[in-house]
Amino acid sequence: MDDRKQLSALIGDIYDAVFDPDLRTDVLDRIAGFTGGHSGSLLSKHALNDSENLYCYIGNDPETLQAYSESYPKLDSTADPGSVGVDQIVSAVDLVPYDEFRRGRFYREWAQPHGWGDIASAVIERSATSCTFLSVARQETSGLVDDQMRHRMALVIPHVRRALLIGKTIHHKEAEAICFTDVFDGLSAGMVLVDASGRIVHANSVGGALLEAADFLRKGACGRLVAGDAATNAALRDILVAASAGDTVLGVKGTALPLTAHNGERYIAHVLPLTSGARRGVGLGFNAVAALFVRKAALESSPAEVIGEMYKLTPAELRVLLAIVDIGGVPEVAASLGVAATTVKTHLSRLFEKTGVGRQADLVKLVAGFSTPLAN
């Protein structure tokens, strides 16, 4: 199978896995193979209870993955949600000098025994309290993460993100129902099915209520789905046209389409193509090419992400900044991150320069200022 057909089949199964949990391990295995990796994981880290949750994994037995969850996430520089932007693909070398990575506990105690030479990671979703990211480990014999691996991960990541967000929107138990159509009216999210022309062919009770309110979404001429804002409506049209052409054509379009009600409340819409894979039967049953899921928007950016964007911090600089706030002095931060104290001092110097403060205590105050609702 050539690369284009392989990618198309993989993307289709990524979306099918939203409703069929049994597909997820196989899909992750194929993502690792497609990108040139050996082992992969989809991991969620929660800041409030300092815990990790492995959605799925391949390449290791459950006991080994449990050992990772208990001991190594804080030492794994590629699994630091505070230091990586959404969809940004990073490797160990991007976050810490490779010699230091190899000297650190994570490499010596975990990566090297498993034959890993490098790890490519990307944040799939981030909220104020949690972060979900996809990681693919590369065998040492294959060399470091290269441009080809980054390119291939970039082709897959938007689809993993959309599938994950749709799965969360309709909730896992609902997604695992035996019959997809049986759960439509029971969804807590609004759901609208449309045909190739954008005409509404079905809506669940929540979706119907949204359309009846005729606020940010409504039924327009010829029964077509229309967004209240002109620019948003144009973007919606583009997404639906792409969805009608299939999973691959949809690409990065419409991973999350923002919608704003007249009262200022914000909503997010996600589009799921229904023209291929196991979803095709649903599409044919309703003569639909896509399903639009709508929910109220949650906070998308964490304070760390806002700080990183505002001060143009690199992932490594942001990682050190957060460690300074959470842990304290340079020696303690170096030990926690598994890097040399000189490396921490170098990043600290750049942090002072970029933020305009001159003391570690001022850095702590700066971060605290972004953590209060009054900051905005």
List, as one string, the DSSP characters of 298-365.
PP-S-HHHHHHHHTT--HHHHHHHHHHHHT-SHHHHHHHHTS-HHHHHHHHHHHHHHH---SHHHHHH
Whether residues 163 and 255 fall in one domain? no
Q: Mean pLDDT across the stretch 231-251? A: 77
List the one residue out of 267, 252, 269 whose CA is nearest residue 203. 269
Q: Which CATH number covers residue 252? A: 3.30.450.20
- CA 151, 156, 160: angle at the middle one, nearest 5? 145
Identity (one letter) of the amino acid at 327?
I
pLDDT of residue 92: 82
- CA 273, 137, 12: angle at the middle one, nearest 5? 15
pLDDT of residue 48: 40
Picking from 177-181, 193-197, 200-204, 211-215, which range would have the lowest pLDDT averaged per residue?
Answer: 177-181
Whether residues 148 and 102 fall in one domain? yes
Last residue of a domain, one of 110, 141, 170: 170
Range among 41-55, 80-94, 258-272, 286-300 with highest mean pLDDT value: 258-272
List the one residue out of 284, 92, 115, 259 whose CA is nearest residue 189. 259
User: Hey, which residues does 86 pair with through a beta bridge?
Assistant: 123
Whether residues 50 and 71 fall in one domain? yes
Whether residues 17 and 166 fall in one domain? yes
pLDDT of residue 216: 93
Whether residues 40 and 150 fall in one domain? yes
Last residue of a domain, one of 274, 296, 318: 296
Domain count, the chain: 3
Q: Which two tokens stand for residue 366?
A: 């700066």
In this predicted structure, the answer to whether residue 265 has a pLDDT above a threshold of 70 is yes
Range of the domain at 337: 303-375
Last residue of a domain, one of 135, 170, 205: 170
In this predicted structure, the answer to whether residue 75 has a pLDDT above a threshold of 70 is no
Whether residues 7 and 107 fall in one domain? yes
Mean pLDDT taken over the chain: 77
Q: Which two tokens stand for residue 242?
A: 């792409």
- CA 7, 77, 355: angle at the middle one, nearest 5? 110
pLDDT of residue 373: 36
Cβ atoms of 140 and 115 closer than 8 Å: yes
pLDDT of residue 33: 92
Q: What percent of the chain has pLDDT over 90?
A: 14
pTM of the entire predicted model: 0.58
In this predicted structure, the answer to whether residue 192 has a pLDDT above a threshold of 80 is yes
Residues 372, 366: Cα–Cα separation, whole Å: 11
pLDDT of residue 331: 85
Q: Which CATH number covers residue 334? A: 1.10.10.10
Q: For 164-175, how does the pLDDT look when each residue is reduced to its tens digit (9 = 90+)? A: 877 766 554 444
pLDDT confidence bin for 268, thresholds 50/70/90 = confident
Q: For 283-318, how does the pLDDT look when each residue is reduced to its tens digit (9 = 90+)? A: 555 678 888 888 886 544 456 766 777 788 887 888
Q: In what order do the strands lie in the sheet with 190-194?
A: 200-203, 190-194, 290-296, 266-273, 257-260
pLDDT confidence bin for 59, thresholds 50/70/90 = low
Whether residues 160 and 59 fall in one domain? yes
E strand intervals along the chain: 39-46, 51-58, 89-90, 116-126, 130-139, 190-194, 200-203, 217-219, 225-227, 257-260, 266-273, 290-296
pLDDT of residue 154: 92
Whether residues 291 and 328 fall in one domain? no
Q: What percent of the chain has pLDDT over 70?
A: 71
Picking from 132-141, 237-246, 277-286, which range would have the lowest pLDDT averaged per residue?
Answer: 277-286
Q: For 96-143, how does the pLDDT look when each residue is reduced to its tens digit (9 = 90+)? A: 788 888 888 878 887 888 888 898 988 887 765 567 888 898 998 999
Range among 46-60, 171-185, 228-242 with highest mean pLDDT value: 228-242
Whether residues 137 and 222 fall in one domain? no
Whether residues 195 and 46 fall in one domain? no
List the one residue out of 300, 235, 294 whose CA is nearest residue 269. 294
Whether residues 277 and 344 fall in one domain? no
pLDDT of residue 58: 52
The residue among 87 and 266 whose pLDDT is bigger is 266
Q: Which CATH number covers residue 87? A: 3.30.450.80
Whether residues 256 and 340 fall in one domain? no
pLDDT confidence bin for 84, thresholds 50/70/90 = low
